[in-house]
């Protein structure tokens, strides 16, 4: 590990400096959920497209109470065939076009009808009419490039008549998991062996970040297999995440393998707890993250560094998880390293509050359970008292707007 650890903020800037959006692609709106919009979308026409009734009732010319002749019907999708003249009413359904000549709708509950005639009360112009363009005017911008497409966004795109939209490509991610001690779920544990959880964690995080997980490969702690696995990963992916083996132990081969494939190092070592032995660079046109093997360190560094890269590649805002919150428990500062503390996130009258989930060891994977945010506490001496506001990184994007 180098002596000169870089601050997390610098590490993030270096990652984002290497990251430009991938080319966009056209995607059917039905398949666009979770994608990032890559075009500005405006409405091709007024929404609603015509004056429509908000009630079941009678379309009339607004005015004093009167008895009117019923001269036709306007149903949803089947407008009336003639215009309305004073003294006349047209039966109308919710969502049906208000006939030419009419300027108000009287709800069915407020009339007495029979024998081809209807008695209506005093009516104001515009009553119970949804005006054309009341929601969106033709030509008005509705969604901007970079928007995350959730259920509301895809629904609005459908309401504008869009079948397809330009979306940022899903970045392709390859996960390489190193460690001779690792056993995947489903096989018995031998002496000294542990479960591989990073393959599952990193693939899940990449998927959540909108990426497509191209491959997951287990690599033994040996140099040659690490080199060839890295070559395969680089050929298949935009982003390669290597778990473990990136420290300076005798059986850590990732750095040497990266050098062997001609990777250019942007940094190695962050002043961050957990997450110190993190490597980042570029090789064969892909971004490579060498993430620490400890399960919490791997997830934290993925979230703080690889996720922003994936978001930026997809054309989205990489900083959408930043917020501030009140710390509800004291935190002991670490003299040389910023800390990313797994916290429960709770809403209170004065905004968001955080408190550590449990013991914070980098091997304590269950400290991630129930963690809605990482509190980012700068390096320093002493203790941060409860009540201080700190930067937090939301683990579930969209939490604050939910
Ligand atoms: P390393 O970065 O390879 O030195 O690993 C650091 C620690 O993380 C060791 O205790 C490893 O056993 C553990 N570790 C490495 N990879 C994984 C993994 N995929 N799943 C769970 N623990 C791991
Ligand atoms: Mg290892």
- Architecture of the domain made up of 25-46+134-168: Alpha-Beta Complex (3.90)
- Asked if residue 277 has a cis previous peptide bond (ω within 30° of 0), the answer is no
- CATH 2.170.190.11 boundaries in the chain: 52-130
Distance separating alpha carbons of residues 306 and 280, to the nearest angstrom? 9
CA atoms within 13 A on the CB side of 42: 7
- CATH 3.40.980.10 boundaries in the chain: 8-22+170-313
Residue whose CA is at the smallest distance from ligand 1 atom 8: 294
Q: Residue 321 Cα, ligand 1 centroid: separation in angstroms?
A: 27
Phi, psi (5° rounding) for residue 23? -60, 150
CB of 196 shorter than 6 A to ligand 1? yes
Looking at the domain that runs over 322-401, which CATH code has it been given? Answer: 2.40.340.10
CB of 221 shorter than 6 A to ligand 1? no
- CATH 2.40.340.10 boundaries in the chain: 322-401
Q: Residue 295 Cα, ligand 1 centroid: separation in angstroms?
A: 7
| Residues that place a CB less than 5 A from ion ligand 2 | 179, 244-245, 293
Determine the topology of domain 52-130 in CATH.
Molybdopterin biosynthesis moeA protein; domain 3 (2.170.190)
Q: Relative to the CA of 197, which ligand 1 atom is closest?
A: 20
CB of 295 shorter than 6 A to ligand 1? yes
Q: What is the reported pLDDT for 402? A: 39
pTM of the predicted model as reported, rounded to 2 decimal places? 0.94
Q: Residue 243 Cα, ligand 2 centroid: separation in angstroms?
A: 8
Domain 8-22+170-313 has CATH 3.40.640.10: no
Kindly give the confidence (pLDDT) of every residue in the chain, 402 residues in length, as a single tens digit, with 9 standing for 90 and above.
Answer: 556 899 999 999 999 999 999 999 999 999 999 999 999 999 999 999 999 999 999 999 999 999 999 999 999 999 999 999 999 999 999 999 999 999 999 999 999 999 999 999 999 999 999 999 999 999 999 999 999 999 999 999 999 999 999 999 999 999 999 999 999 999 999 999 999 999 999 999 999 999 999 999 999 999 999 999 999 999 999 999 999 999 989 999 999 999 999 999 999 999 999 999 999 999 999 999 999 999 999 999 999 999 999 999 999 999 999 999 999 999 999 999 999 999 999 999 999 999 999 888 899 999 999 999 999 999 999 999 999 999 999 998 655 543
Q: Residue 277 Cα, ligand 2 centroid: separation in angstroms?
A: 12
Ligand nearest to the CA of 177: 1
CB of 238 shorter than 6 A to ligand 1? no
- CATH 3.90.105.10 boundaries in the chain: 25-46+134-168
CB of 393 shorter than 6 A to ligand 1? no
Residue whose CA is at the smallest distance from ligand 1 atom 16: 293
């Amino acid at each position: 590990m180098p002596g000169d650890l870089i601050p997390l903020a610098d590490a993030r800037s270096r990652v984002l400096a290497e990251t430009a959006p991938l080319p966009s692609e056209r995607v059917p709106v039905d398949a666009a959920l979770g994608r990032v919009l890559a075009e500005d979308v405006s409405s091709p026409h007024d929404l609603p497209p015509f004056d429509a009734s908000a009630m079941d009732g009678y379309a009339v010319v607004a005015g004093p109470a009167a008895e009117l002749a019923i001269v036709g019907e306007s149903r949803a999708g089947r407008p009336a065939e003639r215009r309305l003249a004073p003294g006349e009413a047209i039966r109308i359904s919710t969502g049906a076009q208000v006939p030419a000549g009419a300027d108000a709708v009287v709800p069915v509950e407020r009339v007495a009808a029979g024998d081809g005639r209807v008695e209506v009360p005093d009516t104001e112009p515009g009553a119970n009419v949804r005006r054309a363009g009341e929601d969106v005017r033709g030509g008005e911008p509705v969604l901007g490039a970079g928007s995350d497409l959730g259920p509301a966004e895809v629904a609005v795109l459908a309401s504008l008549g869009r079948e397809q939209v330009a979306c940022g490509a899903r970045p392709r991610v390859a996960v390489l998991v190193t460690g001779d001690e690792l056993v995947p779920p489903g096989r018995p544990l031998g002496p000294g062996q542990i479960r591989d959880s990073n393959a599952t964690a990193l693939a899940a995080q990449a998927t959540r970040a909108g990426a497509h997980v191209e491959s997951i490969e287990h690599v033994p702690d040996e140099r040659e297999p690490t080199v060839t696995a890295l070559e395969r990963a680089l050929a298949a992916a935009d982003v390669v995440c290597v778990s473990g083996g990136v420290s300076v132990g005798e059986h850590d081969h990732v750095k040497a393998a990266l050098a062997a494939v001609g990777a250019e190092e942007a940094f190695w070592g962050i002043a961050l707890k957990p997450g110190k032995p993190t490597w980042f660079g570029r090789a064969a046109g892909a971004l490579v993250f060498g993430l620490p093997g400890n399960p919490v360190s791997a997830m934290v560094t993925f979230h703080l560094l690889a996720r922003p890269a994936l978001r930026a590649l997809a054309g989205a805002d990489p900083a959408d998880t930043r917020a501030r919150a009140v710390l509800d428990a004291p935190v002991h500062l670490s003299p040389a390293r910023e800390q990313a503390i797994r916290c429960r996130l709770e809403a209170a009258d004065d905004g968001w509050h955080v408190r550590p989930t449990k013991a914070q060891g980098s091997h304590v994977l269950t400290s991630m359970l129930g963690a809605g945010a990482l509190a980012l506490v700068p390096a320093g001496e002493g203790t941060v008292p409860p009540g201080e506001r700190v930067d937090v990184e939301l683990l579930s994007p969209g939490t604050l707007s939910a």
